[in-house]
Structures are given as structure tokens and as C-alpha cells.
Amino acid sequence: MKPEKRKSGMNPNQLNQLLTQASGGASSSTGTSSEEVRTVFTNSSDHQWRKTFRNNRTRTAKYTVFTFFPRSLYEQFRRVANVYFTLVAGLSLTDVSPVRPWTTFTPLAIVLGVSLVKEAIEDYKRHQADKKENGREVEVWSRSRREWKTVRWDQVHAGDILRVTRDQAFPADLVLLSSGTSDGVCYVETMNLDGETNLKLKKAIGATNDMDVTDFQGFNTAVQCDLPNPSLYTFTGNIHLLGAASTRGRSASDASVDEDGNSRRRSKPQYEIKTHPVSPESILLRGSSLKNTKVVYGVAVYTGHESKVMMNATEPPSKRSTLEKSIDSVIMFQFTLLFFMCVSGSVLSGFWHEYYGYQHWYLSLDDKPKEFTPEDKIKVMGLSFITSFILYGYLIPISLYVCVEMVKIVQAMVYIRQDREMYHEETDTAALARTSNLNEELGIIDTVLTDKTGTLTCNVMEFFKCSIKGKTYGTGVNEIEKANSLRKGIVIEEIMQDSQGRASKPVKGFSFHDDEISDLAWLKHKDAAEIRRFLQLLAVCHTVVPEGEPDEINYQAESPDEEALVLAAKELGFKCVKRNLNSLFVREVNAEGLEEEREYQILHVLEFTSARKRQSVIFRTPEGEIILGCKGADNVIYERLAQREGEIQESTQGHLDTYAQAGLRTLCISYRKLSDEVYAEFHKEWTEAKTALSDRDAKVEVVNDKIERELILVGATAIEDRLQDKVPACLEILANAGLRIWMLTGDKLETAVNIGYACSLLTDAMDVNTVQLNVGDKRLSARQTHEERSKIFTTQVTEQFAAMKERVMKRENLSALVIEGNALAYAITPENADSLIDICGSCASVICCRVSPRQKAQVTELVKLSGATTLAIGDGANDVGMIQAAHIGVGISGKEGMQAVMSSDFAIAQFKFLERLILLHGRISYKRLGRMVGYFFYKNIVLGLCLYFYNSQAFFSGQTLFDDFYLSCYNILFTSLPVLAVGIFDEDVKYKMVRKYPRVYEQGALRNEYFSFFPVRTMWVLNAFYAAIVNFLLVMMAYGYDADKENGKVTGLFSMGTCLYTTIVITVNIQIALILDHWTIFHHFAIWGSILVWFLFLIVYGSFDPAISQNVYQLFLTIVVPTTRYWLIIILVPLVAVLPDFLVRQLKHMMFPADHRILQELQVYHVPDDGAQVQSDLRNSRLSSLTLPSKGISKIRVKSLMSRRISEVPSPPATPPMSPQAEEFVVVQNPAAPSTSSGSN
């Protein structure tokens, strides 16, 4: 029925008064106050009312012309180092500064300038995108012109009626009024919202679907809905239509409104309000676009930044890597050291000036500035502190953040994104680092939490078997059954005999064959009536939309499971061919085997949710029967069954268990016949619940739960979801690398366990512990409250944990834990959480089954609280919480859309790529950055301490030993390239060696050998102190107290400073050469080129005008170069400075070699991998005592890679054990073999 038209539309006040009076008050009909809902009036020209809602202009840019500098600078100064250098730059403007101001301003300006330019470019792009988005056009109904007019998107207002044509995007969130078709449906693409490429079906409001252009002029309606919120998949609202009123009776609905907006009573009211619920399937979201439909009409309810897509446009959870947090702690150490140097220097300066200052006549303290009073040591200390604060500022690495960010970008954009081994050709998908901040965090993963469906499996569902009336149908053996059979020692040929007789023409999504059912054989079956009912329910109880001609039908399904069930019905004689707003048309075979098309009227769809775990469809058959068909998880369906036919229920349960053991996904199929009276009562209650604006979902669920009872079990389905390529091998390698693997799945326990065995999460050698609730516990009774039952269940879990804790902790065998979702709810309570973490910490694998999306996130948070570094990987919207909760989230671009990818930190196309992402990119990124950051602090400490040591000789007067330009260029020209070369190009062993011996990953993940507080960071600091002392003392001893023998002149301050600076540059560059594992042309260019640049700089800078070069004008060529002493010093001093570190490293490599050093020996000296001793040691979890023939010049003992197992992948063939006499091996120096670096950390 069309809504009543009027010559002119009512204004909002008129309609609002009528709506209020008809409902008896604002809250009586909705149960919600007007402050908790939004009311949108259509066709309104009241500009004052329109201003109550936000306009449709959107803005994603962070800055404007006026706010760019203050806001972007604020972002930069959130870094403590930038604040410090700004303070130093400001102090350098004072008279107490020991350096010229530009010396401190230049590096600060470069660092800030690079960051600000980057921000400006990125924000300019956002401004351009905003301009393009807001300037798009759409047609809006103009009530004044009585025609459609084209407006920009930013001119759309709430309440406007819009016309959107095919392939256009929706400019706001719309309520779909009409689709221009009789069935009232349209198709939308939501790629820009959730990344899903399959089209979504949307349905118009039934009462407005037959509207056309002529109806909009006097169209009066109000949409009441919840306030703007970011939930893309929920909408609670009602549409109130103004229609002709009934003349019977007098009630609140008899109210009418005159043209002036005054209400009055009429004996025969002209209008009444008719309310219809609006569900999410009638909402067209901004960001989606219209497809396969010519035109739709809708009313805007949420505009601009109040639209759902814009409310979701928030920054993802901020994640900082462990290394980044460690950098903060090291910088705090640097500040502490700086503060100590400043305080100690200022105190000593104050006392020296007070007691000894006037003894040094050349200081001319009598002619001192009036603000400097040597007798006032407090003032002297203060001035000295400020001077030292400026001078020793080079201790803090100002360019650290910029260099680290540059390296991370290269690692993410070049190494990860361009990795051809992580490219999936079938889907044309490359790996993607959605953030570069967490590359190195991949190198210290402790626990991997993974979804199953679509992550470990392909999410390509194949109908495989079924059970009908207590009998199982379907032959064949799937991959998981084959794997389990092999594990149990059953010969494959024996179990494959049942696979004969497959359909000759395979159908995607349908892998079923049974001689009793296939090819319409079921028509002659003794249980043909039950099989017909089973197929009828498969063909009707779904939300699948058929597309195309009946002979070439395609199905658009919300899930692969639903598509597989509809395909099964189609192949077995019930072909769903067409769907409209309220009907479904099925071509089904009759008793004679002839095909006929039948129309089923769809009355209600009770949607599937992860909480309900079931879906029901109420439909009317052509014969007039009202049937409720329900399919869902077995535990949910069984508790709703009528208490009869126990034998069928028991047989079906046995089949379900068998299917689950084969790793198949199971659903129970059931139904209930409804009488007209029962349905009428349900429809009334459901309509009331559906039109409620407060707690609508809860009220609807109460009504649904009431009708979904007394079900009759028809049978069950078994769907195969095959494992992805190389998943077992990937999981095995990750486990051998020391990672704990958690699988979180919604499948039942038996299915999860068998998939665990199939993908190598579980092995026969493991002690598998299972935690379940015992519903048969004698302590339970029907009279107990929920709280009392919860206490008993909590106690059950506590008791099970206590029983297995001692056994698991003994570690006699590898252990695994399997826990069901209902037990998990009580395991993560405060009473049991610690025990759960303790047990899981001793388990190699953990499987959580029957878990909800919320439980996935809770488990991830719990593992994080235990101190483990977590990685969560999934492919669907139900994995988003888990992905965002983990330290690192990895999304798989699969069949369930891109929600997981859009919420992730890294994205890959297949689970098998996770191995390479972690073991290659994660491990090497962490090692590179760890060494890079350690070296960064080392080189700055060396320079800062040399300045401090010289000032101790100058009684902390603040005199600098180096020219200002030397100091400014230290981090920019002479030491920056080697740092970047380490962070980008360094490599210890080839990835094939890491794959073969994955325990090497634990160097970073378990033992943190790359950036631990001790010994790594401590050794860097001690080495820096030693290098600074050696450089300063030896140069001072060589230069400081003797006159030059050739001309008799005393060595000048800046001559000695130039010599010392040269030794520092050479020392720190040689030091980085010692830690390299892999030499490339880039390393040679960076290290030796930086030293060469220093000498070229001396020549060029010394030739500048004295006003610029000042104290070092022509210094290098005329004074420094001619002296033999200089050349001896710059050769010998760096060697002495790095010699102890070199010897310590070599001694460590010989006596206590690190894991990667062992693999380097195997790789470089070509140790035969198939040698009996190697294989024996691998099986014995050791890589030790390997003997190489021939002459050797270095003899080293190789320690175990790990006290636990280390295995080669795949496992080597059996070989005799190695003799105990083979304790050591000799490494042969092959003249033709490439050389390794002299050291590594």
C-alpha cells in the first residue's frame, strides 16, 4: 500500500505533534526518550530543523593552513629528544654557549624539516581526496521545484530523498524506500567498507517499495533510529508513515493536525501513523555503491561524520614495538649520563674557579664579565652546567628516530612488500606491511594465535556427507582422514577403497556421492519422504540470492557454508532459482521424477549470529503449511529438540562425532510445523519487539528463542574445508623455532583435535590434556541459580587444572592443551587465569574450540598479560578483536572479506607465508635494528665522552676541542651511512639455513641476544667508554705536551682536535665493520666512503674563507698532513680502540659460538648436510661434535643450538648414532671459500 499523498508536505512540527499524540507520548511506543533516538523528517524545508544535524561535508585531513605548524610541531615535540635539542638550540643563543648557534640549529632543522615536509605532503594528498569526495554529485528531490536536482555531496542533508543510479556510490547512510523493482531488492558492493567483493542484497521497506517519482512531493514520514554509532552491521529504527486512518473508535491515533500545526479532535480522523521496523538489510551505507540495479530511492538519516563509515575512520590501536620501548630506556640512560657529566663538571668547575682560578693569569679573570663571579661558585656552577648541557648534547642521538624510521620503511616497503616468495599468484596478492613500526617485533614472537576457518583452511566449502533419519550417506575419504589414518598406521590403499564411484562430473562446492541418493536415486528410497524434507530445508532455509538463468544459476551467499548447502540441494533435485522480497522459487522433482517450480513464501528470517549459533527461516509451503526450518550447531539444536525419536537423535549424534573426527564442519537440520494460531502469536510478539527502539536485539532474541523449540531432527550435514597449501609444514617449522601455537576455532572439540593432528599442531608424542565442563556433575541441580552453577563450573575447571598441572610441569613429554569454549569462560576467571597461563606456558600447542569472537580477544589479552609477545592471525570479521588485541596482527585476504586485513599490521594471502614473514623478515629486521640502535648509542657516547675528558683537562671551562662544523656533521656525514647499511643490508645466514635449523630464531625471541640489557646494551656502553678513553688518552699523550720537532711550535688546540676527531671517525667505522655478518658493496661504500668523506671534508672546509672555517682554515693541508705523528696516530689508535672487542668476539666465537655462527660455519665451509654425524645430532636435538676431514687452522667446539629439540625440515632419514668420541670438529680454511666477517653479536 502506498502512503497517503498530500498536495503539500507537513512541516516537522506538524508531523512531530501527530507522531507524539498518536503514540501517546515520546516514549510510550518506543520505550526510549527522545534524547536517546534520532528523528529524521523527510521532505522538510525547515532550515532551522535541518541545522540540528551535521552537514554531509567530510574531512580526513589532519591540518589546515592555520593549524599545520602548531599541530605538526606538537607531534614532533612529543619525542623527548626533539624537546631536548630545541632547548639546547635555544641556549646556544646565549653568551655561555661554547658553540655557534647554527651548530645546534642545523641538525635540529634538518630532522624537523624532513618530518614536517613528510607531514605536509601526506596532508596535501588528504585535502585533495576530501575535495574530490565532497564534490561528487547526486540527485536530490526538490520539493519547491517538484523535480530532481543535482547537488554536491556536501549539500546533502538528513531527511533528503535521494535517487542513486547504477554504479553510483551512496553519499550518506540511507534508508532504502524503493528499488524500482517489484521485488524491492537491490545489490550493493561494500568493497570500500569491509573489502568484500561479493555483492550484498538489500531490501526496501515493504510499505514504500511501490513508490515512484510522483509520490515524493507529498511524502510525509519520520524515521526514528538510534543515535549515530560506528557499528556497520547493526541498525535499530522505525519508519512512521502517514496514511489514511480508520474511522472506527476514538483513540490516541485519532488525533489530527491542521495546517497551522494545531492539534484537534475529529470525529473522523483523516490520518494515522503506521509504524514499520527498519532493519540493517534496508540500510545503504555511505562508501558502498549500487550494482546490478538501475535505480534506488532512499532517505538520508546519517550524514557526514555521523555516517557509519566515517565514525569507523578512527586510528587503529597504537602499537609500539619492544625495541622502540627499549630505545626510550636507553635514551633515558643517555640523559642520566648527560646529567651526571653536567653536574660533575659544574661542581668541579665551581670549586676550581674559587680556589685556583686567579692563579692562572692568562685567564684574565680580573677583566671578567660582570655576570661572571669566580668567587661565587654557585653562579659558576650554574653557568658551567648550562655550557656543559649544550656541549655534551651530542651524547643524545638526534638523528636516531629519522634513521630508524628510514630503515623500517625500507624493510616494510621493499623487503616485505616486494618479496616474490610471499606473492600469491592465484589471487594476485602480495604481502603488505600496513605499518612499518612493528617489523622488528616479528623477530621476538613467543606465541602465535590463529583462527582456523579461512586461515589454516581454504574456506572453500564442499558438501561431503550427510545423515538423514539416523543413517549416514556419502562415500570417500578427505585429507584429514587420510592424515589421521597414516598417523595410526592404516594403509592408504585400504581406506581409499571406499572412495570409488565418485560423480564423473565434479561440481565446485559439491563432493558428495552415494548410490542410494545421487542421481535422484533417493526417489525410490524407503525414506524418500524424510530425504525430501531434508532437501526442502536445505533449499529454502537460507539467505542465498540466486542470479542468472536457471540453467546457469549462480549463488550469492553470505557464507561459503550456506552456498555449499544450497548447491547440495540443487545437485540432489531441489534447485533454488529465484528470490524476491517475500518469496523463494524452487524447482524440485516430484515423486515421478519430473521437475516443477514451487513458490515458498518467506515469512521471517531469524538471522544467524555467533551468539545464537543457529539460523531459522519461517516459510509457508504451496500447500499452506507454515514451517520453521532451523539449522545450527549440534549442541544448540539438540537442546531445542522435542523429546522423542531418541534412537534417531542418538544415531545422528554418532554420525556427527564421526564427521567431526574427520575434521568436517557439521550442522544439524531440524524443523517445526506451526499452526496459524502459534504463528499469529509469534508474529505479533516479533513485530512489537522489532519496532522497539530500546533493547531491540534482546527483545527479538527472546521471541526467537521461544519459537525455536520443540524441533524435530531431520539430519545433519558434513562439509569439508580443506587445509591450505603447506600449512602442516609451516606450523611444524614455527613450532621447531620455539613458538607456541594456539588455535582458536568455533568448531566442536573432535573436529578441532583432528585438524590439529592433520596440520601438525598435535602429534602422537604429545600428552594431550582436555578441559571440558561436566554437565553431569552430581553437585549440579535444576534449582540452582546461574551464580551457583557458575561457581561449580569454576571449581570443575580448577580441579582439572590442578590434576594436570603437575603432569604438564614435569615436561617428560611435549604437552598440549585442548579446552572447550564453555570451559574457557571459567578458565579465564581470576580464580583460574594464573593456572591456565602456567599450564599453557608448558604446552607446545593449545587448542581452544567452540570459542566466540569475544573469547578470542580475551584469550589474546590474557596471553599478553603473561608477558609473551603475541601474534594473532585471522581472515574474518570475527578475528578483528583478536588481531587488534595482539602485539602484532596479521590478516589473511580470504573469502570472508578484508575486515581482518583492514584491522591488521601485516597482510598476507596464505598462511604458509607466515613462516617467511616471521623467520626471515622478522628475525633479520630485529637483528639489524638491534645492532643499528646499539651502535648508534656507541658512537655518540664515544664523541660525548671525549668532549667530557678534554673539559676535565680544561677545568670544565666549556672549551670545545672540535670545530663547530665537525660536531654538526658527525651524525649527518661521517657516521650515518654505515648505520643505514647495517639496518638495511646486513645478513648473517641464508634463509634456507634458517628453515633447516629454525631454532636459531630463539636468539632474538627467547634469549634476546640482539638488544638485551645485559650483555648487549651493557657491552656497547662499556666498549664506548673504553674506546673514548683510549682515543683521548693516546692522542693527548702523543700531542698534548710536546712541541713539534720540525718547527719548534707547540701543537695547536684544533690540530690535536682534528687528530682526535679523525681517530674517532675511524674507530667507530671500524667498529661497525667488526659486527657485520655479511659484506656487500654497500657496506664497503658506506664504511670506507664515510672515512674518505671526512678527509675530503677537511680539505674542502679548510679552504673556505676564514670567516667561515675560522680556526681550521688551511689547518689540515698545512699543519696536520705534514706531521708523521698524525698518520701514525690515526692508524694505531683505532686499532688499539677496537682490539679488545675484536679479541672478545673471536674468543666467544671459538669457545661459546652463537647459534647463527654455527650455521655460518656450516654454510661457508660447506659442511655436508647428509653426513651421518650431522643427522645423528639433529635427531638428538643437538648440533654438535661434527668432524670435517682435511687440514684445519681453527678448532672450535660447537655448542647445542638449544637444549630442546632442533629438527631439520623435513626430518632426515635414520642414520646410525654418532660415536661419543667425536667431541669436536675442525673447521677447514678453504682458500676458495668466501670469508665471513670478523665478528658478530
Tell me how far apart the alpha carbons of residues 1151 and 938 are, in angstroms, rounded to a whole number.
26
Phi-psi label, residue 1013: left if phi above 0, alpha if psi -120 to 50, beta otherwise: alpha
Rounded to the nearest 10 degrees, the angle between the axes of helix 377-391 and helix 923-953 is: 140
Q: Does the annotation flag 562 for ligand binding?
A: yes
Q: Does the annotation flag 131 for ligand binding?
A: no
**pLDDT score at 1018:** 84
Grid cell, residue 444, equals 621476538
CATH of 446-455+727-886, one of 3.40.50.1000, 1.20.1640.10, 3.40.50.300, 3.30.420.40: 3.40.50.1000
**pLDDT score at 588:** 92
**pLDDT score at 257:** 45
The answer, yes or no, to whether residue 1183 has pLDDT greater than 80, is no
**pLDDT score at 21:** 54
Confidence grade of residue 1239 (pLDDT, cut at 50, 70, 90)? very low
The answer, yes or no, to whether residue 262 has pLDDT greater than 70, is no
Cβ(869)–Cβ(448) below 8 Å:
no
**In this predicted model, what pLDDT tens digit does every residue of 620-646 receive, in sequence order?**
999 999 999 999 999 899 999 987 667
**pLDDT score at 1129:** 93
**In this predicted model, what pLDDT tens digit does every residue of 956-988 receive, in sequence order?**
878 888 888 888 888 888 998 999 999 999 888
Closest listed residue to residue 961, CA positions, set 972, 952, 971, 974? 952
Cα 874 versus chain centre, distance: 9
**pLDDT score at 1026:** 96
The answer, yes or no, to whether residue 706 has pLDDT greater than 60, is yes
For residues 102 and 596, the model is more confident at 596
Cβ(747)–Cβ(850) below 8 Å:
yes
Rounded to the nearest 10 degrees, the angle between the axes of helix 322-356 and helix 377-391 is: 140
Nearest 10 degrees: Cα torsion 741, 742, 748, 754: 10
**pLDDT score at 489:** 61
Tell me how far apart the alpha carbons of residues 827 and 823 are, in angstroms, rounded to a whole number.
6
229: phi then psi, degrees, rounded to nearest 5: -150, 160
Every domain of the chain with CATH number 2.70.150 lies at: 12-56+156-311
Distant-in-sequence, close-in-space partners of 593: CB < 8 Å, separation ≥ 6: 520, 523
Confidence grade of residue 1226 (pLDDT, cut at 50, 70, 90)? very low
Cβ(224)–Cβ(158) below 8 Å:
no
Distances (CA, A) of 70 to 54, 62, 67, 118, 423: 27, 12, 6, 15, 42
**pLDDT score at 549:** 78
For residues 499 and 840, the model is more confident at 840
Over residues 112-117, the mean pLDDT reads 84
Grid cell, residue 292, equals 546490478
DSSP string covering 878-902? GGHHHHHHSSEEEEE-BTTBSHHHH
**pLDDT score at 292:** 80
Distances (CA, A) of 465 to 490, 885, 896: 22, 37, 24
As to burial, measured by CB atoms within 10 angstroms (0-12 exposed, 13-18 middle, 19+ buried), residue 990 is middle
Cβ(562)–Cβ(553) below 8 Å:
no
Confidence grade of residue 212 (pLDDT, cut at 50, 70, 90)? confident
**pLDDT score at 1168:** 57
As to burial, measured by CB atoms within 10 angstroms (0-12 exposed, 13-18 middle, 19+ buried), residue 775 is exposed
CATH of 12-56+156-311, one of 3.30.70, 2.70.150, 1.20.1630, 2.40.160: 2.70.150
Q: Does the annotation flag 870 for ligand binding?
A: no
Average per-residue pLDDT for the chain: 80
Tell me how far apart the alpha carbons of residues 771 and 855 are, in angstroms, rounded to a whole number.
16
Closest listed residue to residue 1172, CA positions, set 1194, 1151, 1187, 1152? 1187
**pLDDT score at 860:** 93
Distant-in-sequence, close-in-space partners of 455: CB < 8 Å, separation ≥ 6: 873, 874, 875, 879, 892, 894, 911
Q: Does the annotation flag 747 for ligand binding?
A: yes
**pLDDT score at 364:** 64
For residues 1229 and 861, the model is more confident at 861
Q: Does the annotation flag 452 for ligand binding?
A: yes
Residue 175: helix, strand or coil by DSSP? strand
**In this predicted model, what pLDDT tens digit does every residue of 332-352 receive, in sequence order?**
888 889 899 999 988 888 877
Q: Does the annotation flag 746 for ligand binding?
A: yes
**In this predicted model, what pLDDT tens digit does every residue of 390-441 receive, in sequence order?**
888 888 887 888 888 889 989 988 999 999 999 998 888 899 988 888 899 9
Q: Mean pLDDT lowest for which of 841-850, 946-955, 1054-1063, 1206-1215?
A: 1206-1215
Neighbours of 337 (CB within 10 A): 18
Q: Are strands 137-142 and 161-165 parallel, antiparallel or unpaired?
A: antiparallel
Confidence grade of residue 1170 (pLDDT, cut at 50, 70, 90)? very low
**pLDDT score at 60:** 79
DSSP string covering 188-255? EE-HHHH---S-EEEE--TTTTT--GGGSTT--EEEEEEPP-S-TT---EEEEEEEEPP-SS--GGGE
Q: Mean pLDDT lowest for which of 28-42, 167-181, 567-581?
A: 28-42
Q: Does the annotation flag 850 for ligand binding?
A: yes
Which pTM was predicted? 0.78
Over residues 479-496, the mean pLDDT reads 61
**pLDDT score at 848:** 93
Q: Does the annotation flag 451 for ligand binding?
A: yes
Q: Mean pLDDT lowest for which of 583-587, 830-834, 925-929, 1152-1156?
A: 1152-1156
Closest listed residue to residue 446, CA positions, set 928, 991, 888? 888
507: DSSP letter: B
**In this predicted model, what pLDDT tens digit does every residue of 548-560 receive, in sequence order?**
777 778 887 877 8
Every domain of the chain with CATH number 3.40.50.1000 lies at: 446-455+727-886
Rounded to the nearest 10 degrees, the angle between the axes of helix 1124-1151 and helix 1053-1074 is: 20
As to burial, measured by CB atoms within 10 angstroms (0-12 exposed, 13-18 middle, 19+ buried), residue 696 is buried
Share of the chain above pLDDT 90, in %: 27
The answer, yes or no, to whether residue 1132 has pLDDT greater than 90, is yes
Neighbours of 772 (CB within 10 A): 16
Confidence grade of residue 1198 (pLDDT, cut at 50, 70, 90)? very low
CATH number assigned to the domain covering 458-601+630-672+713-720: 3.40.1110
Q: Mean pLDDT lowest for which of 482-496, 524-538, 993-1007, 1210-1224?
A: 1210-1224
Distances (CA, A) of 148 to 138, 161, 289, 345, 480: 10, 10, 20, 80, 60
**pLDDT score at 29:** 40
For residues 24 and 126, the model is more confident at 126
**In this predicted model, what pLDDT tens digit does every residue of 602-626 receive, in sequence order?**
999 998 887 788 999 999 999 999 9
The b/e string for 145-166 (b: 16+ C-beta within 10 A; e otherwise) is eeebeebebbbbbbbbbbbbee
Over residues 1036-1061, the mean pLDDT reads 75
Q: Does the annotation flag 745 for ligand binding?
A: yes
Over residues 898-918, the mean pLDDT reads 88
Confidence grade of residue 1047 (pLDDT, cut at 50, 70, 90)? low
DSSP string covering 1093-1123? HHHHHHHHHHTS-HHHHGGGTTHIIIIITT-
Confidence grade of residue 1072 (pLDDT, cut at 50, 70, 90)? very high
Q: Does the annotation flag 58 for ligand binding?
A: no
Q: Does the annotation flag 856 for ligand binding?
A: yes
The answer, yes or no, to whether residue 250 has pLDDT greater than 70, is no
Which residues have a catalytic role annotated? 451
520: DSSP letter: G
**pLDDT score at 585:** 93
**pLDDT score at 48:** 59
**pLDDT score at 374:** 65
The answer, yes or no, to whether residue 1197 has pLDDT greater than 50, is no
Distances (CA, A) of 388 to 171, 506, 947, 957, 1239: 61, 81, 10, 9, 36
Tell me how far apart the alpha carbons of residues 317 and 888 are, in angstroms, rounded to a whole number.
11
